[in-house]
Amino acid sequence: MGKVFLIGAGPGAADLITVRGARLLASADVVLHDALVEPAMLDYAPAHARRIAVGKRCGQLSTAQQFINKQIVDAAREHAVVVRLKGGDPMLFGRADEEMRALEAAGVEYEVVPGITAALAGAASLKRSLTLRGVSRSVALATFSRAPGSEEIRESVNADSIVFYMGRDSGVEIAIQLIEAGRAGSTPVAVVEACSTSRERMLTLTLEGLASGEAQRWVDASQPSLVMIGEAFAARRGEVDGRLDFVAAA
C-alpha cells in the first residue's frame, strides 16, 4: 500500500505552491488533480507520472466525489507515492474530510500539505490587508454554496471582512442578504478573477452595485472568482489606481 499526499496547489500561479508540495509532486507516481490546477503546475511531476483530472467546475460535468475517493484509494494500492493535488488549501472548501475518511477506512497512510488559499492571494493582488487596524479585526471565509437540505449559515455577516468563495453566480443574492442584514450599500466590494494567474482581473464596486448585477455582467464564467466585501478593501486616500477607486472613511 502506497502513501497519499493531499497537497494544496495554492491560488493558481504554479510558483505559489509550497516548496514541500513541489518536492512531493516531483516524486509522484500518479497525480489526481483538480480542474482549477494550472497546467504548468503539473510540470513539477515527473514525466512518467500518470496525471488524472478529477476536478469539479461550477455548471460543468464533473467527477462525483465518491468516485474520486475510490480512485485515490485504488491508486494507493498500485503506486508508492500518490498525490491528490487540490486548488488552494485542501482543508478549506476542498472536501478533504471525505477523502481522508475514505483513506482511513481503507487503511491507507496519508499526509496533508497545506497551500495558500485564494483569499490571501486575492488580498495580495489587491494590495489590501484582510485585517486593518481600526477597520477590520475579523475575517470570514465563506461560501454561498451549500449541500442540498442543509440550512443557510449567516454568521459571516458579523465579520468585518468577508471573502466569498464560489460566489460568482450568487453575487446579487449575497449583496441583497448583506444589505438586509444591515450592511451599508456603500460598503466596498472587490471581485478578483483567476487570482494570481496571467488571466487575473479585478473589479471594484459597492455592495449596492453588486446587488444590481454589475459584477455578474463583468465576470468571465469560465474563470474562478472571489467576492471580497468590507471597508478593508476601500482605496487609501489619495491613491491613484483605475481599478481601486474607493476612499476609506476618515
Separation CA 224–CA 226 (nearest Å): 7
The active-site residue out of 3, 56, 160, 169 is 56
Closest CA to 228 of 93, 124, 96, 115: 124
- Amino acid 60 reads Q
Tell the burial category of 156 from Cβ atoms under 10 Å away from its Cβ (0-12, 13-18, 19+).
Answer: buried
Strand order in the sheet with 225-229: 139-143, 161-165, 225-229, 188-193, 201-206
Q: Which residues pair with 193 in a beta bridge?
A: 201, 225
Closest CA to 249 of 231, 229, 233: 231
The active-site residue out of 15, 29, 34, 220 is 34
CB distance 208 to 165 below 8 Å? no
Q: Which parts of 62-195 fold into alpha helices (H)?
A: 65-78, 96-105, 118-126, 171-180
Angle at 227 between CA 238 and CA 90, to 5 degrees: 125
Is 3 one of the annotated active-site residues of the chain? no
Q: How many residues does the structure list for the chain? A: 250
Is 34 one of the annotated active-site residues of the chain? yes
Separation CA 20–CA 157 (nearest Å): 36
Active site residues: 34, 56
